[in-house]
Structure 1
Amino acid sequence: MKIFPEIDYFIELNDDCSLAISELVNQTLSKEQFVANWNNQTFIGKIEKNEFEVKLSKKIIGEFCFLKGKLKNEKGTLKIRTGRIFKIIFVTIVLFTLSGIVTAIVQNKLELIFHLVMTILIMRFIFLELGFRIISNIGINKLTEIIGIKELKKTLHNNV
């Protein structure tokens, strides 16, 4: 099992990839731009020829996961990964919790260890996993609307 959730897909498009990429460019704000209102576009990211890396334009939700794809003719791949900011937040919380476990062992307060371990498990499985699934589904649905995904198949090596 991986610490951070991720999903890989094979996708099949309704139209040619050049049309899909041009539609995605119309709905994506460049991540190099400074904009006060990000909600005018569906995605923020960078798009090159047949490849893209985008995230949802909603402020907190968009940072949760990003979609990276590569299209060729009417087929392609899509990888959904946990965002860097949420990885940093999760690792920080785990480190604080582990330091609490060490402190509980040193102070001989072993009843606290259960609560601290449960904190790590709840953060991983409830917040990180559930949040990733919900937000990645929102991203996939919006991407499907924009580029016209006909079929979406998970690859076999997914842990989500």
Structure 2
Amino acid sequence: MNIFPTKEKKFKLIDDQAETLNRLNRRTEKSENLTSQHTDKSFRGMINGNEFKVISSVIGKGAFCVMTGKINSESGNVKVEIHKVFKILLSIFLCFPIIGITVAILTGTEEFSPIFILVVIGQILIIRYAFIGIAFKYLSNSSLNRLRDVLDFEWIKN
């Protein structure tokens, strides 16, 4: 079980590699730091040769997913992950049930019961799969659709 979800997809280029890379370069604002800022471009990030590491430039939700990939002569691949900063924040959020039950037991407001262990595990699973999983699925699909529109390619079915 992965703590944080990732998504890997392969695509087939409609145009040639040079045209696709040119399109990506025109629509990407160069940035060493993958942070959100107002821009008229579709992405922010780095492009080195035929490899890229970008985030969507949508303010508020674009920086959640980092897309890294490679564009080959006729195809390419992209991997979508949660940004490092968000991983740290979400890790803290995942620890809240453990911290809460520990504080409740140590302060004496609750006596220890084995059922608390099941409750904490259930809360962590709900946070991971209901909140983080659904948010990642929605935001990664949004970022991947934007990448597909800019680069003009077709997804390859696995």
Same fold (TM over 0.5): yes
Tell me which stretches of 4 or more aligned residues in structure 1 moved more than 6 Å: none
Tell me which of the two structures has the higher relative contact order, counting C-alpha pairs closer than 8 angstroms and 6 or more residues apart: 1
Three-state SS of the structure 2 residue aligned to 1:38 is: coil
8 Å Cα contact 1:4/1:82 also seen in 2: yes
Find out whether 1:135 has 2:139 as its counterpart.
yes
> Is residue 11–residue 152 contact of structure 1 (8 Å, CA) maintained in 2?
yes
Match of 1:120 in 2: 124
Does the 8 Å CA contact 1:70/1:76 hold for their aligned counterparts? yes
Shift of 1:59: 2.7
Aligned to 1:157: none
2:28 counterpart residue number: 28
Q: Note the 1:45-60 alignment, pairs <5 A.
A: 45-60=45-60
What is the TM-score when the length of structure 2 is the normalising length?
0.84
Q: CA RMSD in A?
A: 2.4
Structure 2 gap segments, 5+ residues each? none
Question: What one-letter code is carried by the residue in structure 2 that aligns with 1:52?
Answer: F
Question: 2:36·2:60 contact (CA, 8 Å) conserved in 1?
Answer: no
What are structure 1's unaligned runs of at least 5 residues? 155-160
Could you tell me whether the CA contact under 8 Å between 2:43 and 2:54 is conserved in 1? yes
TM-aligned CA distance change 1:5 to 1:37, over 3 Å: closer
Q: Secondary structure at the match of 2:144?
A: helix
Percent identical pairs in the alignment equals 30
TM-score (norm 1): 0.83
Give the CA deviation at 1:82.
Answer: 1.1
AA in 1 matched with 2:85: I
* Structure 1 partner of 2:149: 145
Does the 8 A contact of 1:104 with 1:113 survive in 2?
no
CA contact (8 A) 1:21 1:50 kept: yes
Instruction: Report the alpha carbon displacement of residue 135 of structure 1 after superposing the two structures with TM.
Output: 0.9
Find the aligned partners of 1:113 and 1:54 in 2 and give their Cα distance: 40
Deviations 1:2-42 (A, max 9, x none): 11000111211101121111101111111148x99524111
Aligned to 1:6: 6
Residue deviations 1:31-69 (CA, integer Å, cap 9, x gap): 148x99524111111011100011111232122111111
100-109 vs 138-147, greater mean Cα deviation = 100-109
| Structure with max Cα Rg | 2
Q: CA deviation at 1:103?
A: 2.9
In 1, Cα distance between the equivalents of 2:24 and 2:50? Answer: 11
